[in-house]
Homo-oligomer: A and B are copies of this chain.
Amino acid sequence: MTTESVPLAIYLFTRLRHLGVDSVFGLPGDYNLKLLDHIEPSGLRWVGNCNELNAGYAADGYARIKGLGSLVTTFGVGELSALNAIAGAYAERAPVVHIVGTPPRATQDARALVHHTFNDGEFKHFDRIQAHVTVAQAVLNDSRSAPLQIDYVLQQCLIHCRPVRIAIPDDMPGPLVSAVQLGTPVSIPVSVAQTAVEPEALDTLLGCIYGSSRPMLLVDGESRAFGILDEIHAFVRKTKWPTFVTGFGRGLLTEELPNVHGVYTPKYKAFVESCDLVMCFGPHYSSSNTYLGETRPPGATVIDITATEIRTQGITFRDLPAKPFLQSLIRELDVSRISKHAPPLPGPNPLPMIQPADLVSQKNGFWPRLSRFFQEGDIILAETGTPGYGANDFMLPRHASLFRPVTWLSIGYMLPAALGASIAARDKLQELGSNSDTAKPRRTVILIGDGSFQLTAQEMSTIISQRLDVVIFLINNGGYTIERCIHGRDQFYNSISPWRYLKAPSMFGAPEDGGFAAHTWEIRTWADLENVLSDHRMLYGKGIRMAEVFMEKLDAPELLLGWLERQVKQDKRALA
């Protein structure tokens, strides 16, 4: 960097660019327009969304693929609309930079009664609200401190892999700030060797490892946030131990290795409980990520590898960032001293027999049968609800990414997240560009129920106007089937307004002809499914393709059917 000063907005956006952000999501608002003037001059692309919640979801989806995502909203109205998305990024560790344009300093200092306030002269309400869902915050109202404030919050975002908020008064994008620091990258601090703790932790772990006769590995989703995927792969390869992933961890680990057995579902419980050591990487033991706690491994056998802590049998070793610690562990590990075992494990359940004219159903294997449609490198998003549960039955192809419900479970997330993920993949491809022979465009596939689709449907229009290659399988089952399985299976409140879903691409502006023309299908029978999955336009087309899959309102994957059965039994008991 040769210039000594740059406008504040350029400083911020340059930082984002250096951290891998190429596209920024959001909506204009009259407190952020001057800020947005600096987007293109910084070399960023603007992706305007339909609303701020969707922009937040898109930035989250982008972050999970590209390592960092960002959105710009306006004071109050805009930023509060995005709050649920930011909270989800917090819960599931997506590093999102939420930039908010706020009223000019003169307005705030004067406590003026202006729009987007409570008409009370108070401008800090939203700072306080946003602090609940972010790991760091900055209000940039002094050009001297702004660069360090920016660097600090961005580093916090990277360290914790969680959202941060930066508020910029409307008169601040322009003032010049020192650009000296731009020469020094913002990054996660280099680890200091904890000479007092690390040897003891290594000794303890190696003791557990060498002493185990039936060890296994479990890869959970926070591993992505800790940046330890390479180390995990090395460990899985080196030990050859039986390895599972959680729902959250799925897609992070190559499932082609012979010792990797896919998702730890309850059917593997007996095996897991027979192990005397479970090394869990990036644990995230929420009920929704552990089959309501059923697949949480028994505490006495577990070693948890978290961001900076190793926990085992009541002992916690702190200040040990996961990445360098795992590197040490792998280096120290003497494979000649570890147990080997490759127990016979149950394979996938056999699929029920079906006839082409039968109606498709989840209980007869819709989700596993859909898997064959997936291609190498696909980004697959299975929305909270029946698709999310169905996703545990997928066969995942190589280099696929899978988004599925983890803990936040905000229905409506997946469609805008698909927009973000798809843009991230395209940005990555452009970055690789001519440097790579193997880089190929990635397809994005969304599996979503009708109820969830209704929350954020309009973002389909951004997918269309951005000319992204997105396939949507929409399950039309008349409402919130997952809620029906939990409670109130015939209740009015689990129904939704009926839409003509296949008209959506056209309504949202899809081209009617040319390479990006939208294609739509109805699927009612297995034969329909077969036809659609082998349709050349579906397999290799461009732009948006959408299939509406009709299902019974009480059709669901096996696990949910179990809940439903329990509900029916309870009701019968209540009536008896």
- Interface residues of chain A, those whose CB is within 8 Å of chain B, are 28-30, 33-34, 36-37, 39-40, 46, 48, 50-51, 53, 76-77, 80-81, 83-84, 87-88, 90-91, 112-119, 125, 128-129, 132-133, 284-288, 405, 407-412, 454-458, 461-462, 464-465, 480, 482-483, 486-488, 491-501, 503-504, 506-509
Contact = CB atoms under 8 A, between A and B. Distances in A.
14 contacts: A30-B482, A30-B487, A48-B493, A51-B454, A77-B408, A77-B409, A80-B87, A81-B83, A81-B84, A113-B285, A114-B286, A115-B288, A116-B407, A116-B410
B76 A87 contact: yes
A87 B81 CA distance: 10
Given A132-B128, A495-B48, A90 B118 contact: yes
Contact of A503 (B287, B407, B488, B503): B503
Instruction: Specify which of A456, A500, A506 lies most central, judged by the most chain B CB atoms within 10 Å of its CB.
Output: A500
A386 to B, nearest CB: 14
The 7 closest A-B pairs by CB, nearest first: A465-B497, A80-B84, A77-B410, A115-B288, A33-B487, A51-B455, A503-B507
Given A48-B497, A113-B407, A115-B409, 9 more contacts: A30-B483, A50-B455, A80-B84, A80-B87, A91-B117, A115-B287, A500-B508, A504-B507, A507-B507
B28 A493 contact: yes
Contact of A50 (B51, B87, B285, B497): B497
B492 A46 contact: yes
Contacts of A486: 30, 33
Nearest to A84: B80
Given A33-B488, A287-B113, A509 B483 contact: no
Contacts of A497: 48, 50, 461-462, 464-465, 508-509
A492 B40 contact: yes
Contact of A53 (B34, B81, B405, B464): B81
B454 A458 contact: yes
Contacts of A458: 454-455, 457-458
A284 B39 CA distance: 36
A84 B39 CA distance: 26
A573 to B, nearest CB: 16
Nearest to A113: B286
A40 B488 CA distance: 13
A498 B503 contact: no
Contacts of A84: 76-77, 80-81, 83
Nearest to A504: B507
B412 A483 contact: no
A113 B289 CA distance: 10
A488 B28 contact: yes
Given A493-B39, A507-B507, A499 B461 contact: yes
Given A28-B488, A483-B33, A408 B76 contact: yes
A389 to B, nearest CB: 13
B117 A286 contact: yes
Contacts of A407: 113, 115-119
A84 B29 CA distance: 15
Contacts of A48: 492-493, 495-497
A422 to B, nearest CB: 15
Nearest to A90: B118
Nearest to A410: B77
A535 to B, nearest CB: 23
Contacts of A33: 483, 486-488, 491, 493
Nearest to A125: B132
A133 B83 CA distance: 13
A79 B113 CA distance: 27
A518 B90 CA distance: 43
A356 B468 CA distance: 42
A459 to B, nearest CB: 9
A560 to B, nearest CB: 12
A507 B498 contact: no
Nearest to A452: B51
A336 B498 CA distance: 64
Contacts of A411: 77
A487 B74 CA distance: 14
A33 to B, nearest CB: 4
A115 B492 CA distance: 24
A499 to B, nearest CB: 5
